[in-house]
Structure 1
Amino acid sequence: MRSNYLFTSESVSEGHPDKVSDQISDAIVDLFLSKDPEARIACETLTTTQLVVLAGEIRGKGIMDEAGNWAPGVPEEVEATVRATVKRIGYEQDGFHWETLKFHNNLHPQSAHIAQGVDAGGNKDEGAGDQGIMFGFACDETPDLMPATLYYSHRILHRMAADRHSGAAPFLEPDAKSQVTLRYENGIPAAATAIVVSTQHGKGYDQGEKEAELHAYVKKVVADILPAELLSDETVYHINPTGSFEIGGPDGDAGLTGRKIIVDTYGGASPHGGGAFSGKDPTKVDRSAAYITRYLAKNIVAAGLAKRCTIQLAYAIGVAKPLSLYVDTHGTGTVGDDVIEQAIGAIEKLGGMTPRGIRTHLGLNKPIYERTAAYGHFGRDPEGDFFPWEKTDLVDDLKAALA
C-alpha cells in the first residue's frame, strides 16, 4: 500500500436524478415488504422531465398474482408512494413536481424460471437470487470505519439537505453533488486539498451578493463537517464551478436506478462487484451479501484485528452456499487473513452466509430500505431495525473463534 498520496471521493444528494430513482425504487420495496416479508421485488425507476416510469418484476401475497393481476388498491398505493417520495425530497418545480408529474407503472410478475431456482422446496434451501461477486470494506479513518473522503462528502450534502428542509438555507434546491480530495501522509488523512460542491439554487444566486452568500454558506458547512486540522488557506474550493445551476434534478438530467454504486458503497476505496442495491428485495445477493460483507469487515476492524479490511463473497443463482470467501487486511491484520476466513466460517449464527442465513441474522425482510437510498448504505448509525449491518455485535464472536 502507498503511504503518501491524494485520494478523492464524491457524493450526490437526495435530489440528484439517479438518487431520486433509487429512493423511489426502495420506497416500492418497503411498500411491498410491508405487505409480504417474503415478497420478491426488482423495481427499476426512470425519472425525467415531469415523468416517473417503473419497470421490473415482482411477486408477493396481497400484491400481484402469477397472472399479473394486482390486488385491489395496490396500484393506487404504488402511485401514492411514488408521489410522496418525490414530495419528501422537495421537488415542486415546473419541470418536476410531485403532484403534476406523469406516472407509468410497468411492473409485472417475476419469471417462473427464476422463482423455481431461488425458492426453497423439498430438501433444497433457498438459493441466491442471482450470480455475482460482492465486496465489503472497512477502515479506521473515521468513527464509522469508512473512508474519510466519502464520509465527509456524504455529510456535507446531508447537512445542506437538512438546512434546505428546515428553511435555514432557503436558496438551496434539491439537486447537489460534492467531492472531497484528501492528502494522505503515512496512510493517514493529513489535509483537504480540494473541495467541490455543486448545488442547484434559487434564482439570482449565481452572481453578485447572492452568489457570495451561497459560497460563504458552503464554506461554513465544510468547516462544520471537516476537522479543522484538515482545512487551511491552501484548500481549494470549487463551488458551482460551471456557473448557474437553476435547472436540475430529473428536469436537468434523466435519472435511473443503480447508477451511483460507488457513491452508495466506499467512494472508490474498495473494489465493487458491479451490482446495485436499490429496488431489490434481500433475496438478491447484490444487496444482502454486500451488507453482510460490510458487517464482517466492520466487525473485523472494530475488533482490532486489522486497520483496513476488504471481504469478497461469490454466489451462483439458485445455489444457497457462497462459492468463495476472501479476506484481505492489506497487511494490517494482527492474524493471518486465512485464519480470519476460518473464524468467520466457524460462527454458526451467520448461517453459512446463505441468502436465508444472511436475512435471518441481519433481519432484512423488513421495510427498512428507503432511507438507505441517499447518503450511502454504509457508515450510517444503526437504529432499531435500520442499518443492522452497521452494528459491531460480532466482535466477541470473532475473538472467540480466534481464541
Structure 2
Amino acid sequence: MARQNYLFTSESVSEGHPDKVCDRISDAVVDAYLTQMPDARVACETLATTNRIVIAGETRGPDTVTNDYIAHLARLAVKDIGYTQEGFDWQTCDIAVHLHGQSAHIAQGVDASGNKDEGAGDQGIMFGYACRETPELMPAPILFSHRILRLLADARKSGAEPALGPDAKSQVTVRYENGQPVGVTSVVLSTQHLDEKLTSQDIRAIVTPYIEKALPEGWLTAETVWHVNPTGAFVIGGPDGDCGLTGRKIIVDTYGGAAPHGGGAFSGKDPTKVDRSAAYAARYLAKNIVAADLADRCTIQLSYAIGVSDPLSIYVNLHETGRCDEAKLETAVRDLMKLSPRGIREHLQLNRPIYERTAAYGHFGREPDADGGFSWEKTDLVSDLKTLAG
C-alpha cells in the first residue's frame, strides 16, 4: 500500500529565471517556423548570460525565417519578460544566431517515404501523469508553486508591484494525510527586487498576499515556515546573475518530481520530436483516465526508437487506485489514439504556433486555449474510455 502520511516538496521558477528565458526564446523560434510552415523541423537551443544571447541548432523550414528575424523575436521575448537592467537589457544585449540545416541522416529516419510512415526523431521514453489532488488533476506542490509565481508576475507586469524584478523561484512543501494534500508546512520564495534597500522582511510583506491567494484557504497556518529571500538582497538577477540554458528545468515543466520524467526537454523542439509530443500524449491519456473516474492516479509510459513509427511499449500504472484492468487500458488507449509521431500531432493538432506560451509555469495543468494551445489538457476521451475499459 502506498504511504498515506508524508511531506512532499516541489519547486517552480518564473519566466525571468535564466533557464526559462532560454526556453521562451527557443519556443519563440519553434513558433516562428510553424507559423510559416506547419511541417517545419526545429531543434533550437539557447544560452543566455550577461548581455549576450546565443541561439543554435538545426532547422528545416522557409528561408523567410532569417537570422535577423530570429534575433528580433528573441528581443521581443526578453522585453515581454521585463529585462531592462544594466547587465541584461532587451534593447542592447548582443544576440548571435547559429542555426543550420537538419542532419540528412536524422531526416531520413524521421521522414515518411514510400510505404514507410514518419518515424520518431529519436529513441526515448516519455511519461504522463494525472491525479485527483487538484481540480486540474495535477500534483498539489507543483501546481501551487507555479501559481504563486504567476500571480507575482501578473502583479509585476500590471504595475501593482513595481519593486519586483523578473527573476524568481518558489518552493512549496505540502503535508499529506490519508494520501490527500491538506496543508503547507513551508514556503520558500526568492524574488528579484529593484531597490537595493529592501530587506527580506520588506519583500515578505509584498509577496504574502499573493502567496495567500495562491493557496487553498486554511493551508497556511501559524506553524507554516516561511523563507523569503533568505540570502538577503537579490537585485542582480536573470542571465546577468546566472547563465541560462534551454531545457534545464524539465521537472519544473512536468510534475515537480511527483511522477517520473523520461529525460528529454520540451522547449525548442517541433512536435515531430517525441520528447515533446509523446510526453504531451501521455499526459493527455493519463488525464482522461483519471477524469473518467477509472483511477485516482495514473502514470503512462511510452517508448520509441529513432525512425520507427509505432511506440515500442505502452505501460499503464494506476497505483492501486484503479477501477479497471491496467492491461485492458493499455489496449484501449492504443485503440483511441494512434501513438505514432504523426498520429499524435494530428490528434492533438500540434503543428501550430502554440509553444512559446508553454515555456513558463508548466506544460501541464493549464486550460486548453481556443486556438489549440494546451490541447493535451482536454478531457474529450472520457466517454470512450469508460466504454472500452468497462
Coarse TM-score class (shorter-chain normalised): over 0.9
User: 1:288 touches 1:355 (CA, 8 Å); kept in 2?
Assistant: yes
Once residues 165 and 273 of structure 2 are traced to their aligned partners in structure 1, the CA distance between those partners, rounded to angstroms, is 34
2:333, 2:358 → 1: CA distance? Answer: 26
Structure 1 Cα separation of the partners of residues 209 and 273 of structure 2: 41
Change (3 A) 1:205 1:227: farther
Which residue, 376, 379, 386 being the options, matches 2:365? Answer: 379
Question: 2:140 maps to which residue?
Answer: 148
Alignment of 1:245-256 (within 5 A): 245-256=234-245
TM-superposed CA distance for 1:342, in Å, is 1.6
1:344 and 1:25 map into 2 onto residues whose CA distance is 31
Secondary structure of the residue that 1:227 maps to in structure 2? coil
Provide the secondary structure at the position in 1 that maps to 2:218.
helix
Whether the aligned pair in 2 keeps the contact of 1:205 and 1:214 (CA below 8 Å) is no
Q: CA deviation at 1:202?
A: 1.4
Deviation string 1:111-145 (CA, Å, 9 cap, x unpaired) is 00100110001000000011000000000001100
Q: What's 1:67 paired with?
A: none
Amino acid at match of 2:29: I
After TM superposition, the structure 1 = structure 2 runs for residues 53-132 of structure 1, keeping only pairs within 5 Å, are 53-60=54-61, 62-63=62-63, 71=64, 74-132=66-124
Q: Which amino acid aligns with 1:39?
A: A
Shift of 1:190: 1.7
> TM-score scaled to structure 1, two decimals?
0.95
Distance across 1 between alignment mates of 2:170 and 2:355: 23
Q: Does the aligned pair in 2 maintain the 1:130–1:285 contact within 8 Å?
A: yes
Moved over 6 A (4+): none
Bigger shift: 358-367 or 212-221? 212-221
Please give the secondary structure, in 2, of the residue aligned with 1:174.
strand
CA drift of 1:206 comes to 3.3
Counterpart secondary structure, 1:346: helix
Instruction: Tell me which of 179, 182, 185 is aligned to 1:190.
Output: 182
SS in structure 1 at match of 2:57: strand
Aligned-residue Cα RMSD (Å) equals 0.9
Show the counterpart of 2:354. Answer: 368
- 1:46 deviates by 0.2
Q: Distance in 1 between matches of 2:113 and 2:387?
A: 35
Letter of the aligned partner of 2:149 in structure 1? L
Correspondence for 1:238: 227
TM-score, with length taken from structure 2: 0.98
2:16 maps to amino acid: G
Distance 1:25 1:43 in 2: 5
Q: Describe the superposition over 1:299-349 as per-residue Cα deviations: whole angstroms up to 9, x where unpaired.
A: 0000000000100000000000000000001000001211211211222xx
Letter in structure 2 aligned against 1:185: E
> How much does 1:227 deviate?
1.0
Give CA deviations for 1:253-274 in whole Å, capped at 9, x if unaligned.
0000000000000000001100
**Superposition deviation, residue 205 in structure 1:** 4.6
Partner of 1:279: 268
Q: For this pair of structures, how many residues does the alignment match?
A: 388
Kindly indicate whether the alpha-carbon contact (under 8 Å) linking 1:150 and 1:266 is maintained by their aligned counterparts in 2: yes
Give the equivalent residue in structure 1 for 2:32: 31
Q: Which residue of 2 aligns with 1:313?
A: 302
Shift of the alpha carbon at 1:217? Answer: 2.1
Question: How far apart in 2 are the matches of 1:345 and 1:318?
Answer: 19
Report the equivalent of 2:379. 392
Query: Separation in 2 of the partners of 1:363 and 1:338?
Result: 28
Contact 1:293 1:312 in 2 (8 A): yes
The more displaced of 368-377 and 336-345 is 336-345
Aligned to 2:342: 356
